[in-house]
Amino acid sequence: MKKYSRLPAFIKNYRVIYLIVVFALLAISGFIFALHFGLIIAIAWLVIVALASLLIYSLVNSLGIDFQTYMTNLNGRVSISQTSALDQMPIGVMLLNSDSDIEWVNENLMNVIGDHSIIGKNLKQADSVLYELVQANKDSGSTEIDWRDGKFSLQVQHDGQTIYLLDLTDVSKYQLFYERDRLFYGLISVDNYEEVIQDATDSESSRLIAFISGRLDGWSKKYHLFLKRMSADRYLFFGRLPDLKSLEDDRFSILDEVREESLKQNMPLSLSVGIAFGVSDLNDLAELAHRNLDLALGRGGDQVVIRNDDNPALYFGGTSNPMAKRTRVRARMIDQALSDLFANADSVFISGHQNPDMDALGAALGVWRMSRLHDLTAYIVIDEQNLQRDVQLVVEKIKEEVATSNNKLKQQLADGQTLKLVEVPFISEKKALTLASEQSLLVLVDHSRPSISAAGQLLDKLKSSLVVIDHHRIADEGFKEKPILFYVEQYASSTSELVTELLGYEDRRKSPLTKVEATALLGGIQLDTKGFTAHSGSRTFDAASFLRAAGADAQLLSSFGKESKEDLLVKSHLFELMVLDHNIATVVGENDVFYNPVLAAQAADELLKIQGVAASFVITRRPDEKVGISARSDNSINVQLIMEKIGGGGSLANAAAQIVSDDVKKVETMLQDAIFQVIGHKE
């Protein structure tokens, strides 16, 4: 073994050993063959083989030595080159041993450290901050760190023994300069301007324009903005992102200033602002700002919407009750546009939100009647297994009337005549999916959020032929494709009011509203106005008068709204769970009890009747495995903004949220955080 270990390295290679064995076998075979020609020839053969073996050994050994020498020199040159490259490269490199002692530091990192005596020291003692950063980021790949008054990209390899540090300080400065110089684009609309100015004298109009321009001019100079007036009620402005941050910190107080000062002049005005940033193309930036302004107006005005393409919208303002800006001219235009859509459709499908209330059903029946006036086949998509009690009674009443009408038709049928029965307007979504065609029209009523639609699959199928009619503030959630008609009027009391106005422009002689349909529409208005005590304007009473003339029956409506003894007991129990903190009443139901969402909403309404309560929140488990929040206020607290913080929506005094959870206490904590974010504290 000792002799073998002293052999040249190349001989230890088993492939060489195999070659030697083969050579030896050939030599022995040759020797045996040579014996046939005589002993002298055989001995000569052995001498030749021995000399050849020595010569081959010498040559191969010499070749191996030369090769090893070459590789040694090459490795040395490569090592020198690598060391030189590591030393000169613009990345800091540090090598540690297993005890975290510093073995080598390249020139780049040494210039940062500034201490040439660091070699041989333990990293923890030499630089405890860097040591902690290395220990914390051993397995995290490349990480940005703050170290020695600069920013670096840190990467740790070989179990913490090789450290790479790329100085990002200058890059961060350039990035900061870039962000500081990026532009944002904004548009301002003066809300209610046309309505205010039409009754003003010339001097009052001039004074009003001067007031708005003066306020905005001072505001723009304060925040270093470029402001340009495009018309009497429209402005555009540019600024840099740090100035936008200053505006956000100020919470856009210009909204309050304009609203309060204009009220003092008996000319109530407010501002709506759309701001866009983060888009390099100026045309796209302007388009996004226009969309944000439309969103601010659709949510009721008197607010700011800030958004880029990558992040959710930020909202400021919107805390006041929106002023009525709806005109009959717009309603007439919407009716004409809807009539044109009906003319090009072969069928109409109407859907409310999940678990529809009387406003959703009444509006759906109104749109269904409009479709019938245009000789279209129309259907209302509902889930009859999940209906509120009053809605269920209306559905049953309509089915009863259809059955009665069909019986009369059968009795009046003469010999040879074809019987055309009246169809029940209600179908399931599954059935609607089989009936819908490319020429079908889908009308969503009383909601503008796809996630709460009662016909989500049908919406996906008919997304390119969609109409939306609603009175709630527009949420940030959008549709896959822009609706071809979007009629959202947050100033209306209810969707039933909007649909009733549209019906007023139709020729109803051919197919008039039935008593039940008119009653359902009136019930929708009555529900959302809390019996005409909230959100009611002159247009609301005009719509109610129209419906009474069309046959709406107050007694029939009262029968739909009667409560059962069990429902009253459930609401009484919820009242017992109320906690009043200052002027906010909160009810949190039991975690193991599922409550009817309608009863929870009614409980929230009735809590406002308690003296000293400005806002109420009822949190309960729902039958659909979610936790629901019903939020109400007396207009002094914007519950819509609170609900939006946790994924819900609604209007200033009436909002809700549905959260996927099985723990009401967690949802209560979310609600408390949202309240704090919106109003700062419980007043």
- Note the pTM of the prediction, 2 decimals: 0.64
Spell out, as residue ranges, where the chain has pLDDT lower than 70: 1-16, 64, 66-68, 70-88, 160, 319-327, 329, 413-422, 476, 681-683
Chain-centroid distance of CA 116 in Å reads: 53
**Cα–Cα distance measured from residue 49 to residue 29, given in angstroms and rounded to the nearest whole number:** 12
Percent of the chain at pLDDT exceeding 90: 42
Q: Is 446 annotated as a binding residue?
A: yes
Could you tell me the CA-to-CA distances from 391 to 135, 367, 397, 524, 595 in Å, in that order? 64, 17, 10, 10, 17
Query: Domain 331-560 is classified in which CATH homologous superfamily?
Result: inorganic pyrophosphatase (n-terminal core) (3.90.1640.10)
CB 88 within 8 A of CB 153: no
How far is the C-alpha of 614 from the C-alpha of 492, rounded, in Å?
22
Which CATH number does the domain 183-317 belong to among 3.30.70.1230, 3.60.110.10, 3.10.129.10, 3.50.50.60? 3.30.70.1230
Q: Is the dihedral of CA 428, 429, 433, 435 positive or negative?
A: positive
Query: Domain map of the chain by residue range?
Result: 2-85, 89-173, 183-317, 331-560, 565-679
For residues 289 and 273, the answer to whether their CB atoms sit within 8 Å is: no
- Residue 393: Cβ-neighbour burial (10 angstroms; 0-12, 13-18, 19+): middle
| The two structure tokens encoding residue 392 | 């269920």
Number of other CB atoms surrounding residue 139 within 10 Å:
8
How far apart (Å, rounded) are the C-alpha atoms in residues 105 and 86?
9
Contact 386, 355 (CB under 8 A): yes
Phi, psi of 240 (to 5 degrees): -100, 155
Question: Would you tell me which CATH number, out of the four given (3.30.450.20, 3.90.550.10, 1.10.10.10, 3.40.50.10860), belongs to the domain 89-173?
Answer: 3.30.450.20
Helix (H/G/I), strand (E/B), else coil: 351:
strand
CB distance 193 to 181 below 8 Å: no
Q: What's the CA gap between 480 and 478, in Å, rounded? A: 7
- Are the C-beta atoms of residues 552 and 587 closer than 8 Å to each other? no
**Residue 100: burial class (beta carbons within 10 Å; 0-12, 13-18, 19+):** middle
Helix segments in 265-327, DSSP class H: 282-298
CA 663/CA 483 separation, integer angstroms:
36
**Has 202 been labeled as part of a binding site?**
no
Q: Is 582 annotated as a binding residue?
A: no
Q: For every residue of 32-100, which 3-state class applies, written as one string? A: HHHHCCCHHHHHHHHHHHHHHHHHHHHHHHHHHHHHHHHHHHHHHHHHHHHHHHHHHCCCEEEEECCCC
Residue 528 marked as a ligand binder: yes
**What is the model's pLDDT at position 3?**
43
| CATH code of the domain made up of 565-679 | 3.10.310.30
Q: Is 411 left (phi over 0), alpha (psi -120 to 50) or beta?
A: alpha
